[in-house]
Amino acid sequence: MPARIIDGTKLAKRIKSDTSARVHALTAEGRRVRLAAIIVGEPAAAEIYTRSQRQRCQEVGIEYQLHSLPPHAKDDDVRSLIRELNQDSEVTGIILQLPLPPDLDTPALQYCIDPYKDVEGVNPSNIGLLFYDNAIIAPCTALAVMEILKEASVEPRGLNAVVVGQGAIAGRPISLFLSQKMATVTSCHIATKDLYSHTRQADLLVVAVGKPGLIRGEHVKPGAIVIDVGINSILRPDGSKTIVGDVDFTSTNEAASIITPVPGGVGPVTVAILLRSAVEAAAKQTATPRRLAV
User: Under the rule (CB under 8 A), what is the footprint of its own copies?
Assistant: 79, 86, 105-108, 111-112, 123-129, 131-134, 157-158, 160, 166, 168, 172, 175-176, 179, 182-193, 198, 291-294
The residues facing 204 across adjacent strands are: 161, 225
Question: Nearest-CA neighbor of 263 among 237, 239, 232, 225?
Answer: 232
Question: How near is the Cβ of 186 to its own copies at its closest, in Å?
Answer: 4
Question: How near is the Cβ of 237 to its own copies at its closest, in Å?
Answer: 36
Rounded CA-CA distance 170/144 in Å is 10
Residue closer to its own copies by CB (options 17, 201) is: 201
Question: How near is the Cβ of 127 to its own copies at its closest, in Å?
Answer: 3
Residue closer to its own copies by CB (options 235, 294) is: 294
The set of residues, in sequence order, having a beta carbon less than 8 Å from that of 2 and lying 6+ positions away, is 253, 254
Question: How near is the Cβ of 172 to its own copies at its closest, in Å?
Answer: 6
3-state percent breakdown (helix, strand, coil) of the chain, nearest 5: 45, 15, 40
Question: Nearest-CA neighbor of 131 among 173, 188, 89?
Answer: 173
Residue closer to its own copies by CB (options 16, 221) is: 221
Q: Please, what is the end-to-end C-alpha distance for the chain in angstroms?
A: 55
Residue closer to its own copies by CB (options 20, 160) is: 160
